[in-house]
Structure 1
Amino acid sequence: MKESPLSTREREKFEAQYSEIATLAGGLAHEIKNPLSTMSLNLELLTEDLDSLDVPAKHRMLKKVESVQQECKHLQEILDAFLQFARVGKLALSKANLNDLVSDFIDFFRPQAREANIEISPHFDADLPTIQVDKSLLRQVLMNLALNVVQAMPDGGLIELQTYHKDGMVYLDMIDNGKGIDENVKARMFDAFFSTKSGGSGLGLPTVKKIIDTHQGTIECESEPGRGTRFTIAFPVC
């Protein structure tokens, strides 16, 4: 189906909005990654040198170097998350059935869920209309949401994935029976760099929202502490 003029204008607006920041992010990444890689390599060489020494302080020196290596790794993760966030905007759209995409993701994610003692229960609408979606970015959305769910259920639990459609939109609910989210966190969860996790980049859920927005979709969260969480994503029918 041919896109409507409004749909085209909206997509062009998103692409123009994010293209400049993506260019700046790419330059920033280049400037940071080169010295960071050099630092990491030299730390590895330093570790090898220290390991060959036979001095009383060797263990203490190695621990300090390992601490710096961990910080370099953390910086790399933050940088990668920022680049992922900044580059969202240009879509490779194709027609797809959301059931198929979610089913493929479940097959991919199930071993990780099983390791975390989490059961996945899908409930799919058999008559789901097709949508226009960037399949790679949707996989990123599902992964980010699923990882948040796993962190909300450290002792295991249940994830329900439900698809349905109404009023020209296709919906996906991801529901968990985890610890839930309080109102203060829920109000800021899609803000860039906001995180309640030690060492978190604060860009996982903002990236999810940015991807959904770029698809002209919506994402909502319902949650109460101790009562689990429901994320609802909606995409326009094509």
Structure 2
Amino acid sequence: MDDHEFHEERERLLARQTELATLAGGLAHEIRNPLSTIRMNLDLLCEDVEELNDPRQRRMQNKLERIRGECLHLEEILHAFMQFARAGELEARIDDLGSIVADFIEFYRPEAEQHGIEISPHLSSSLPPVRLDRSLMRQVLMNLTRNAQQAMPDGGLIELQTYTRDGRVYLEIIDTGPGMDADTRSQMFHAFHSTKTGGSGLGLPTVRKIIEAHGGTIDCESDIGRGTRFILALPMAEQPAPPEGAGRTPG
């Protein structure tokens, strides 16, 4: 296959993926609307039953509460799925990754403190610009830090580092949680795979999809008892060539 055929095949695959993502997002939206109506009516039913003291009515209330809980869980899964379906739709512009990370840390720090988690930033002051979608990158940061937070229910440390190496801009997110074994690491980016009760299994797959849509990569280093390190690498933004003659000293 020559370069022209390769690019044509790649464009066909991207178009097919975009079509599938659009269909999946539309389906999730159509499911969410009636599900919201069901949950709203369950809320009203629960309020009616709360006023009754008959043991049989209390059993009915317990059943309604379980159904309502399952509806909420389904809504959370649908929300996560819609995020996953839209993860490749970028509105990218040249931006400073360091400022995005710094802003996110200030936003997230109060929540971290409530869970006994210390945030330790080590951010380079001279990162080259990258082309990225600020909203989606914030989603990446939220997913990875929340993932680390849930792995450390008794508190711990989350370290965020940025630096440049070999023509790419790096972001590392490191936690002092229990770590993961090789089997868990090999499956964690698979859609709907989750080791957490009630999890959607779409958080890390969404992160990978967003990073890859930016032309970047994400890797994970982890061992049981030694914490977890996520390593994100993004290409530097291509800078426009200076106008011809720019920078010359007039003769």
TM-score past 0.5 threshold: yes
Tell me what 1:141 maps to.
Answer: 140
Contact 1:169 1:236 survives alignment (8 Å): yes
Tell me what 1:120 maps to.
Answer: 119
Structure 2 SS opposite 1:198: coil
Please tell me whether residue 232 in structure 1 is matched to residue 231 in structure 2.
Answer: yes
Please tell me whether residue 45 in structure 1 is matched to residue 44 in structure 2.
Answer: yes
Structure 1 SS opposite 2:128: coil
Pairwise mapping of residues 31-180 of structure 1 onto structure 2 (< 5 A)? Answer: 31-180=30-179
TM-superposed CA distance for 1:50, in Å, is 1.4
Task: Indicate how the Cα distance of structure 1 residues 146 and 94 shifts in structure 2: closer, same or farther if over 3 A, else same.
Answer: same
Deviation track 1:133-152 (CA, whole Å, cap 9, x = no partner) reads 10000000000000110011
Tell me what 1:3 maps to.
Answer: none
Contact 2:49 2:57 survives alignment (8 Å): yes
- Structure 2: gaps spanning 5 or more residues: 1-6, 238-251
What is the CA–CA distance in structure 2 between the aligned matches of 1:90 and 1:148, rounded to whole Å? 23
Q: How many residue pairs align between the two structures?
A: 231
TM-superposed CA distance for 1:56, in Å, is 2.8
Task: Indicate how the Cα distance of structure 1 residues 218 and 156 shifts in structure 2: closer, same or farther if over 3 A, else same.
Answer: same
Deviation track 1:90-120 (CA, whole Å, cap 9, x = no partner) reads 2111111111010000001001100110101
Which one is further off, 206-215 or 58-67? Answer: 58-67
What is the CA–CA distance in structure 1 between the aligned matches of 2:127 and 2:186, rounded to whole Å? 31
Contact 1:19 1:87 survives alignment (8 Å): no
TM-superposed CA distance for 1:13, in Å, is 7.0
What is the TM-score with the length of structure 2 in the denominator? 0.87
Structure 2 SS opposite 1:57: helix
Contact 1:14 1:214 survives alignment (8 Å): no
Tell me what 1:206 maps to.
Answer: 205
Structure 2 SS opposite 1:222: strand
Between 1 and 2, higher relative CO (CA 8 Å, sep ≥ 6) is seen in: 1
Equivalent AA in structure 1 for residue 90 of structure 2:
L
Superposed CA RMSD: 1.9
Contact 2:120 2:159 survives alignment (8 Å): yes
Equivalent AA in structure 2 for residue 237 of structure 1:
M
Q: Look at both structures and tell me which one has the larger radius of gyration over its CA atoms.
A: 2
Structure 1 SS opposite 2:24: helix
Equivalent AA in structure 1 for residue 87 of structure 2:
V
- Structure 1: gaps spanning 5 or more residues: 1-7
What is the TM-score with the length of structure 1 in the denominator? 0.91
What is the CA–CA distance in structure 2 between the aligned matches of 1:199 and 1:96, rounded to whole Å? 35
Aligned-pair identity (%): 58
Contact 2:52 2:58 survives alignment (8 Å): no
What is the CA–CA distance in structure 2 between the aligned matches of 1:96 and 1:173, rounded to whole Å? 18
Deviation track 1:167-215 (CA, whole Å, cap 9, x = no partner) reads 1100011111110011000001100111111111100000000000000
What is the CA–CA distance in structure 2 between the aligned matches of 1:228 and 1:15, rounded to whole Å? 36
TM-superposed CA distance for 1:55, in Å, is 2.0
Structure 1 SS opposite 2:55: coil
Structure 1 SS opposite 2:150: helix
